[in-house]
Amino acid sequence: MKIPFKKFILFFSALFMGLVYSLWACGPSLYLDEDRFALFRSTIDGQSGLEPFYYSERFLNSNIPDPDNLDYKRNCEEWRIFTNNEAIEKDIYEIQYQTTPNDFEYAYNTGNWKEFSGNTFIKWLTKKQNKKALDYMMLSKQSEFTQFGNMDPWNDSNNVYDNTLKYVAVEASRQMRSTSSSFLRERYAFQAEKAFYYLTKDEALKGTDSVAMLYQKYLCKSNSVILGWSQLYYAMILDSTQRTTYLLKTFDNSEEKKLFCYHQISATDLDTLEQRTSDKHLLALIYTMRVINDPGRDLNAIQKVYSLEPESKYLPFLISREINKLENWLWSPEMLHFNAKADNDYYGQHYPYQKPYSYFAEKNLVKDKAYLKTFCSFLEQMNSNKVGKNYLNIALAHLYNMSENYSLALQKINQIKNIRDTLYATQKLIEYTIALSNIYDIRKDSIKNILYKNIQSLIAINPVFVNEKYDDYESGNFAYDDDNPEAERNDDLSELLLLLSRQYQNKSDIVTAGLLYNKAGVITNANDGSGNWNYYYDENNPDTSNDNYTSIAYFDRTANPATIDSLLSLKHKKNKSNFEKYITTQNWASDDFYKDLKGTILLRQQKFAEALKVFKEMNANFWEKTYAYKDFLPKTSVTNLASLTPWIKDYQPDYPLVSKRYITQDIVNLLEQIKNEKDNEKKSQLYCLLGNAEYNMSYIGFHWMMTSYGWSSGISLKPDWFNNGFCSKNEDYMKNYYGCAQAISQYKNALALTKKPEQKASILLMLSLCDKAMQKYNDVKYDIDHDYNYKYISPYLLILKKQYGNTETYKLALTDCPDIKGSLKNK
């Protein structure tokens, strides 16, 4: 979502021989399952009632019992058959689950059914011969009122509740015995059972029907949806293993009650029942429940379910859940660069403390890949007649794609036949695209055309990939619907685009990789401008609204100058292929913003003349009106260090505009002067100015935005999401930016050429600053953790005190820079 106003950046200043920026920064927020990569659709097993138990970092997914209302729909289907097809399911659902008890009771008592005109179920119920069915529906609405109805605030609501519940219990029992319809008898028995369950402590009802009698006599042999519902109330009056047994049966027979049963059964309950039963179906349910509770490897439990009950309806669900785990363990780190959880072997064995996370991650990766291979072998051995041939083939195709056995994946894909289900069709296209893109050269136009066709086919089958996922399809801006439990599974196209982006990057096609990455819009563990620097632009200049860091973030991390040329060439290409049209359909930044990136990359490479040539191609006012330059790129000369060097009184004049062009021109001029200067003292002065410029363009300098698009509160050598780090793959640049390497080099050149004590003192002071920055850089790079009281004292300061302690520069530094005085105390 574009924010149509200028973001204000919260920053604090601190003194270290002058002003040093300290900017608050943190990464974006993650929602739902944005830190896991999942391309195997959990819903492919066709059991959406199990949605609350899909493998997910989002606790129990939607936490909605029976999110697709399968039990309700089954009940409506049973009523449709009972009406001899005179009522349609939609109308039955409206009356059963969308009509309030008050509205139904009013129509029932007055005989005024005008509000329901056109409803086929009401039409059937109000026929004279169906009066008993209408009476039952009225009683069921009264029962519903005791649980969900709005009580009259002027009456004693407890008495109203109790009296209504007692009436339902007694009347349902009476009608249960008198009706000749087995269909209505079961439903009356269930209403009675439910009412008596809530009235178990009512002394007036003692000696009447009980929950146990009603279930055992009227309900236990039902083939209706009522069976699962009635088993729950029966289970709740039992103790110990009998209670666990019937909770498992309820879980098995009812979609709506699954979540409740899950919360009622403990691990101890399952262990106890396992020891006391030999019923294979119950044992299979026990192992199924254990898998639901476990985020780890569960092949052993799945094998146990298969051996006990080869046709278990839960096997596809359990297999899908395991595949999603493998995706998270293997693909999430690779595709999203978020770390999967490592084993805690660290705590079980006495490894040295310096073992990095990477050690454990690599160890885990080896184990996960071995587990993937074992899991594939198990699926290959399963009887496809028991589990389903198409399901096994699609599952194996995905697993073989994950294990990089793409030829085998393609074989399995080709064995999937007669697909009409959109879930299978979608998954088949995903698997085919992955296999194809790895078997063939994706840089070829013919393969790109196939990829385009596959993407369009996916969109045609799943319009939700576009309509729900994107606020703006052209921009590719991601937006989850928090209220939709399927939201994570509706981002499959985006994740597929990200996977293709990674493959193009591996082929060194950075332009295609970057455009696919931006098109995907998936949050990864990289700084894509989702923090303080996201969409930073001037509200008074709407034409620059796309000139934000998000537009260039991927290329900032990966591109070289030639990449930017190719990117702009594709942007303006007239006769694009379908694939090129697809990946270039997004919100582009202005040409000048990409040219600014090209010039910035050249600055990082110390190619100042080439950078200047690029900047001269751009609009002179670009930096005045675009992004955050006006706020963070000073007009003061890049050679001026202001309060950092109070001993220097002569400063260069300010620039007329905020402009990288003027600054780069100054540096190019300096380099030319150094090249031509013959006098050592003058050359030393020029090297000092060049050192100042390099210092100012570093992380701790005033002109840091010359080479970086943002400033984080700490040194970040990885483009990580958490710290909003602005990081480049150019290690030399990182050393220059964070460690002042180039500034050190230029100051050393200056030091070697001068013989003046004041000049040497000034240079040594700047070298001490740069040396301290280099120390911090090395500490981060090599993960060196110093003692809490450790304070680094640059050797340049010791040389300064020893050899140039009598200079005016040194004395002024002690006066104006208390940290210098503190560092040299007692030295």
What is the domain partition of the chain in residue ranges?
A: 220-312, 422-507, 595-824
Strand 19-23 and strand 11-15: pairing? antiparallel
Counting other chains too, the contacts that 540-546 makes at CB distance below 8 Å and 24 or more residues apart are 541/625, 541/626, 542/4, 543/590, 544/590, 544/625, 544/626, 544/627, 545/2, 545/4, 546/587, 546/588, 546/589, 546/590, 546/593
Tokens 């602005």 sit at which residue? Answer: 726
Tokens 């913003």 sit at which residue? Answer: 593
Tell me which H or E stretch contains 237: none
- Calculate the CA 234 to chain-centre distance: 42
Cβ neighbours for 126, distance < 8 A, ≥ 6 positions apart: 113, 134
Contact at 8 Å (CB) between 32 and 478?
no
Q: Phi and psi at residue 20, in whole multiples of 5°?
A: -130, 130
Tokens 């290690």 sit at which residue? Answer: 731
Which pLDDT value is given to residue 719? 55
Give me the sign of the Cα torsion angle 117, 118, 119, 123: positive
How many angstroms separate the CA atoms of 341 and 352, rounded?
20
In the structure encoding, which two tokens stand for residue 306, read together? 């298969």
Contact at 8 Å (CB) between 559 and 514?
yes
How many angstroms separate the CA atoms of 70 and 74, rounded?
6
Low-confidence ranges of the chain (pLDDT < 50): 1-25, 59-60, 149, 151, 153-154, 156, 342-352, 468-480, 482-483
**In 3-state terms, what secondary structure has residue 156?**
coil
405 sits in the region (left: phi over 0; alpha: psi -120 to 50; else beta) called beta
Q: Phi and psi at residue 788, in whole multiples of 5°?
A: -55, -35
Q: Phi and psi at residue 13, in whole multiples of 5°?
A: -110, 150
Which pLDDT value is given to residue 545? 66
**Pick from 706, 724, 725, 728: which is nearest to 716 by CA?**
725
Q: Phi and psi at residue 437, in whole multiples of 5°?
A: -70, -15
Tell me which H or E stretch contains 679: none
Q: Hey, what amino acid is at 378?
A: F
Instruction: Mark out the alpha helices in 52-181 (DSSP H runs).
Output: 70-82, 89-98, 101-110, 120-125, 131-148, 157-178
Instruction: Mark out the alpha helices in 572-621 (DSSP H runs).
Output: 578-584, 591-604, 608-616
Q: What percentage of the chain exceeds 90 in pLDDT?
A: 65
How many angstroms separate the CA atoms of 823 and 813, rounded?
12
**Pick from 267, 247, 266: which is nearest to 257 by CA?**
247
How many angstroms separate the CA atoms of 697 and 611, rounded?
14
Tell me which H or E stretch contains 12: strand 11-15
Contact at 8 Å (CB) between 132 and 184?
yes
How many angstroms separate the CA atoms of 675 and 665, rounded?
15
